[in-house]
Amino acid sequence: MARFNTKPLSGTRDFLPLEVMRRSYVLRVVERVYQSYGFEPLETPIMERLETLLGKYGEEGDKLIFRVAKRGEKLARVLANAPDENNIADAGLRYDLTVPLARVVAEYRHRLPRVFKRYQIGPVFRADRPGKGRYREFYQCDLDIVGSSSPLVEAEVIHAGAQVLQELGFQGTGAEGFRVRLNHRGVLRGLMEVVGVAPALEEAALVAIDKLDKVGLGGVRRELEERGISAQATQALLALLEAAPQDVAACLAWLAEVLQPSKTGSQAVSELEQVVQALAGGPAAPHLRLDPYLARGLSYYTGAIFEIEFPGLSGSGGGGGRYDDLIGMFSNRSIPACGFSLGLERILLLMEERGMFPDHLAGRPQILVTQFDAATRPASLALAHRLRQAGFTVDLYPDLDRYGRQFRYAEARGIRYAVLLGPDERARQAVGVKDLSTGEQVEVPQEALVGWLAQRLDTCGQDDHGSPEPASG
């Protein structure tokens, strides 16, 4: 047989069991927190009509959509007659979870509650050049509230995101914690108005300001000038941004004063004030920081914008904002919306670097029932059933190999206890239990085994389950 390339396709990944368990651990926390805020799960197909996707992500985005080719007759006809990248395809792989949400809101309008709070977790696909931390197939965890303009919506979304990070173990606002940077598109627009950036150059200036983290103040100054913003306006804008107070209340007061001449700016400050008020007392509050620099790249935001920052580290823990003009794209009407997307891959990487995963992850077997010989096999099988009924996760060694080989297998799988049931143990109505973490072996009476193990292991074998009483042997 020819040699095959058995690596996953460039930009995609295989997740071996330990990696899946870690990802699942995080996703379970995400789901539990999102649900506790009243968000419901939505699932949409991996494949969408090509016309649903095209034109939604700009020209650059269109190029990054994976196209699924037509088949059979339909394909043959196109290939015979001026084929191009679009007419050979009738479907594409979803590029994000927002366009599918907009489609769902249009299609099921009458079946959805008037305020639709949904989360969706799943892979999206972008034909980007693969690189460190940049994949062609990667997960998004999206949280959106559709149908309300209330500032409570921003607060719910931000709190839910912050609480996920807290429950994963990111505590405080220091090196082990996170900050929630908050701003408003209208604040940025107001600032430009008061310093005299021409409206036509606003978007260009926003892109420049958004790079502050990467290029520093000097870099932003250069970018602004390159983009045609006058030296005077640039100077005034940077001076203002530097002068912004750190404290949330002080910053709001300062913004109100600075933006007083701009109607857009004043309106934005008043909206920000309401969001800040709604955030008081919840999990995000201690992490909150107003940041008039924050621009967030996507031009579709219309109101508050926010981003989770890990102090001193690049790459965000997630971000979002209000985007009132996007969800209605298939509905022929404007629908207010506000969302947050968790930076799952960044968070996983950080948690791995910092050893933040629990020792026992759901999905790992706790006990290996070993095999002695063909005659004792039925007893081994019965023991495995009994331990599973008692709530343990139990692997059963299938072959009649030497114990040494069975123990090595258990170690390789990270199994803590190997249970031995040979003729000697059976004669004494006992089982041998070898602790593979210490190498120690003890003998435990058969009727005491479940209790003995329950003292040392969780039943259910899962971190996200409670601990029901173990069934007595």
Q: Quick check: 365 binds its own copies (CB under 8 A)?
A: yes
Q: Does 393 bind its own copies (CB under 8 A)?
A: yes
Q: Which is nearer to its own copies, 239 or 400 (CB)?
A: 400
> 412, 371 in Cβ contact below 8 A?
no
Does residue number 281 form part of the binding site for its own copies (CB under 8 A)?
Answer: yes
Rounded to 5 degrees, φ, ψ at 456 are: -105, -15
Check residue 114 and report its DSSP letter: S
3-state secondary structure of 26: helix
Residue keyed to tokens 């919506």: 153
| Nearest residue (CB) to its own copies, 233 versus 278 | 278
Pick 32 or 263: Cβ nearer its own copies:
32
Please tell me whether residue 270 binds its own copies under the rule CB under 8 A.
no
Instruction: Answer left, alpha or beta for residue 233, where phi above 0 means left and psi between -120 and 50 means alpha.
Output: alpha
Please select the residue that binds its own copies; options are 59, 73, 81, 114, rule is CB under 8 A.
Answer: 114
Separation in Å, CA 161 to CA 170, 343, 467: 12, 10, 28
C-alpha–C-alpha distance, residues 334 and 10, integer Å: 39
Which of 121, 97, 144 lies closest to 345, judged by CA? 121
Instruction: Please work out, in degrees rounded to the nearest 5, the angle formed at the alpha carbon of residue 269 by the alpha carbons of 208 and 56.
Output: 50
CB of 341 vs its own copies, minimal distance in Å: 19
156 forms part of the interface with its own copies (CB under 8 A)? yes
404 part of the interface to its own copies, by CB under 8 A = no
Nearest of 6, 174, 215, 39 to residue 117 by alpha carbon: 39
166 binds its own copies (CB under 8 A): no
Residue 385 found at the interface with its own copies (CB under 8 A): yes
Cα–Cα distance for residue pair 313/297, rounded to 1 Å: 19
DSSP 3-state assignment of 306? strand
Instruction: Give whichever of 50 and 204 is closer to its own copies, judged by the CB atom.
Output: 50
Distance of closest approach, residue 293 Cβ to its own copies, in angstroms: 28
Nearer to its own copies, 40 or 257 (CB): 40
Q: In this structure, what DSSP letter does residue 335 have?
A: -
Please state whether beta strands 179-184 and 441-445 pair in parallel, antiparallel, or not at all (unpaired).
unpaired
Member of 27, 54, 96, 112 binding its own copies (CB under 8 A): 112
Restricted to residues 118-147, the positions that interact with its own copies (CB under 8 A) are 118, 123, 125, 127, 136-137, 145
Among the residue ranges 17-25, 188-196, 298-306, 344-352, the one whose residues contact its own copies (CB under 8 A): 17-25
Assess 85 for contact with its own copies (CB under 8 A): yes
List the one residue from 143, 146, 155, 182 that touches its own copies (CB under 8 A). Answer: 155
Residue 108 or 313: the one with the smaller Cβ distance to its own copies is 108
Q: Shortest gap between Cβ of 266 and its own copies (angstroms)?
A: 19
End-to-end CA distance of the chain: 52
Task: Count the site residues for its own copies by CB under 8 A.
Answer: 120
β-partners of residue 459 are none
Q: Does 332 bind its own copies (CB under 8 A)?
A: yes
Under 8 Å between Cβ of 272 and 289? no
- 216 lies in the site for its own copies, by CB under 8 A: no
Among the listed residues 41, 133, 172, 423, the single contact to its own copies using CB under 8 A: 41
266, 462, 463, 473: which one contacts its own copies (CB under 8 A)? 462
Binding test (CB under 8 A) with its own copies, winner from 60, 72, 402, 429: 72
Instruction: Please choose, out of 64-72, 216-224, 435-443, 446-454, the segment that lies near its own copies by the rule CB under 8 A.
Output: 64-72
Compose the 290-329 pattern: x for residues touching its own copies by CB under 8 A, - for all others.
---------------------------------------x
Residues 183-202 that bind its own copies (CB under 8 A): none
Q: Are 426 and 379 in contact (CB under 8 A)?
A: yes
Kindly report the number of other CB atoms within 10 A of residue 81's CB atom: 8
CB 212 within 8 A of CB 293: yes
Find all residues with CB under 8 Å of 412, minimum gap 6, and list them: none
In whole angstroms, how close is the CB of 376 to its own copies at the nearest point? 13
Nearest to 126, CA basis, from 12, 7, 248: 12
State yes or no: residue 271 binds its own copies (CB under 8 A). no
Nearer to its own copies, 87 or 266 (CB): 87
Min separation Cβ 12 and its own copies, Å = 4
Tell me the C-alpha distance between 354 and 349, whole Å.
Answer: 9
Report the alpha-carbon distance of residue 388 to residue 366 in Å, rounded: 11
By beta-carbon proximity to its own copies, the closer residue of 87 and 235 is 87
